Structure 1
């Protein structure tokens, strides 16, 4: 649907006016051009977008769905285009904006062209056209490559989100035809990968066996950046207090707490009533600095004395294997380690860490509107969080 922004603007004009004639005047094109644009959009949508009556054109249900997404897309894009140059709301094309995004990310025309599968002159020309309309340079040449100016960064971000909205429109329209288009992209923090996410995916797959689901892992900062660019639909895991930025929403699902675990036969398990101070005699495996679990660990060990050594890792596999071959103890989410405890791979050390409780939940953009499939997946997550005895505490 984002293949031709001009066609979408014509569609929006017809949707608002109900008239091909008035839309042609507003868009400064001929009436046949309006008719051709609508016909192309209907072919792409695979269904009628308008009911054509002698007195006016009226949106079908599919047309209403598309009109809502188009309005959201242009509401993101047009203020930034207008700040650069008012004419850009009429002249900027999808190809030009995609070239801007690719160049901003690659900081090089040749690399941007390679990523887009285009010739370098094509990408350079697209960006140059934007610059001519804007009446200013959008990139500065430095020893390290092309660096986007602040207006170019703002436009690239707005275009990403606008295109993401149009991708959502394509999925919405396909849903009306009983087809599945697009995919669900999840930023999966460590805790979610052990129990919550697998169970939710299994429930979702019973209804939608073919829709692609992609679970990403990585540093929290990278996943938040992907979320804000529209590349990630939502994150699942420990919520931050305070939220790292104002344009995201955090939705709690359940509370979790930390647990100290050890291999079977560990000396700490023989202590009759171990205290946290007792356990500080052993080396620990903990989360990296900055993770909520690590922040809580540092807080409680600040009162009990520090362990003699730390191994920092976000890998459950590394923690489990190191604990099983040494006297290291692990401090980790109770939910995240539940499967290993249940299978006997590790044992909980009976120390109360009630003051390490923290909320686990969803993080998404403040203005995000999920598709039907995404909404179903979110409902599956809520159901698993509510029903599962290994998650609800």
Structure 2
């Protein structure tokens, strides 16, 4: 709390403890460790390197205690526990809902919290144990990162439009046919933006000023439905049965790492986490089998 608030006075006010008591507690902790944990700066109290180390481990301990309490409560109340799942907005619109459906079918009392976010937001939470799994496009992380992963789906990208688009019914197209239309693009920070721009460059096309950028599959899909814009999406997202998109007959080379699940190898799995991992594998198998049986479907 002291790191977050940056002031002994604010900590005292937040915890309803007197300022001398907070100051004395900090002094006793530093004296017991024989280390300076915080230093005073013009911007307030800031942790030293020793303080940062202690804070990091203390937060891990608090997270572990919270998880133990939740699991004990689940056992006492007859619940199946809880799973906290991080998902990337651009890559889990099909796999995660299918896996959650399987989870609730197999264990109705196992609950799930789904947290959508970007990689810089979710990876620290996975490391700290605040989330149990990340589901989405697997990032390239070194073995020393402490994370393990399992690929579940190998997907290709397709060029898509809304079903009302002038090009939607065409059986044959050239890349030049796309030139008059605006685009819905992934942001520059995404894995596929730069390689896709290179592909268009080889075809003699460049992005005009008329485009929008989003990582949200739902925003992209809805915008395509109400405009003549063009976009690129993974096949499973393009073939959503409630809001299908038209897949244009233009081939793209592989540009994506597999979609899969990632976890912190240093933290043990709860029963709920193991069950969710099984559901993710089974859901991915169902998607792959459907792709094989209906390779050209636009459901």
TM-score (norm 2): 0.82
- Structure 1 residues 319 and 110: CA distance shift in structure 2, 3 A: farther
Find the counterpart in structure 1 of residue 155 from structure 2.
256
User: SS at the partner of 1:306?
Assistant: coil
Deviations 1:234-257 (A, max 9, x none): 211001124597222222111112
Query: Who is 1:282 aligned against?
Result: 181
Instruction: Determine which structure has greater relative contact order: mean sequence separation of CA pairs < 8 Å that are 6+ residues apart, divided by chain length.
Output: 2
CA deviation after TM superposition for structure 1 residue 303, in Å: 2.8
Q: Distance in 2 between matches of 1:272 and 1:392?
A: 21
The yes-or-no answer on 1:320 pairing with 2:217 is no
CA distance in 1 between counterparts of 2:208 and 2:216 reads 21
Contact 1:183 1:213 in 2 (8 A): yes
The 3 A distance-change label for structure 1 pair 119 and 335 is: farther
Q: Distance in 1 between matches of 2:199 and 2:291?
A: 23
CA shift for structure 1 position 298: 3.2
Residue by residue over 1:76-130, the C-alpha shift from the partner in whole angstroms, topping out at 9 and shown as x without a partner, is xxxxxxxxxxxxxxxxxxxxxxxxxx22234344555677x55464655544432
Q: Tell me whether 357-366 or 232-241 shows the greater mean CA deviation.
A: 357-366
Residues in 2 aligned to 1:207 and 1:169: alpha-carbon distance in whole angstroms: 23
CA distance in 1 between partners of 2:82 and 2:164 (Å) = 46
Note if 1:352 corresponds to 2:240. Answer: no
Residue number among 129, 146, 155 corresponding to 2:54 in the alignment: 155
Select 1:235's aligned residue among 125, 134, 138: 134
C-alpha contact 1:172 1:372 (8 A) present in aligned 2: no
State how 1:1-393 maps to structure 2 within 5 Å.
Answer: 102-109=1-8, 118-119=16-17, 121=19, 124-170=23-69, 179-180=78-79, 183-191=82-90, 193-243=92-142, 246-269=145-168, 271-304=170-203, 305-309=205-209, 310-339=211-240, 342-389=241-288
Tell me, yes or no, if the aligned pair for 2:164 and 2:225 is still in contact at 8 Å. no
- Where does residue 76 of structure 1 map in the other structure? none
Structure 2 equivalent of residue 29 of structure 1 = none
Cα separation, partners in 2 of 1:343 and 1:211, compared to 1, 3 Å: closer
Q: Distance in 1 between matches of 2:48 and 2:58?
A: 15
Gaps of 5+ in 2: 293-299
Aligned pair count reads 289
- How far does residue 321 in structure 1 lie from its aligned partner after superposition? 2.9
Residue 172 to residue 317, structure 1, CA distance change in 2 (3 Å): closer
Cα 1:171–1:261 change in 2 (3 A) is same
More helix by share: 1
Unaligned runs of 5+ in 1: 1-101
C-alpha distance in structure 1 between counterparts of 2:72 and 2:207, whole Å: 57
Q: Structure 1 residues 277 and 243 mapped into 2: Cα distance closer, same or farther (>3 Å)? A: farther
**Contact (CA 8 Å) 1:385, 1:391: kept in 2 or not?**
no
SS in 1 for 2:145: coil
Q: 1:129 is paired with a residue of what secondary structure?
A: helix
CA-based RMSD: 3.1
The question of whether the paired residues in 1 share the 8 Å contact of 2:139 and 2:257 is answered with no
Judged with a 3 Å threshold, the aligned counterparts in structure 2 of structure 1 residues 259 and 170 are, in CA distance, closer, same or farther, namely same
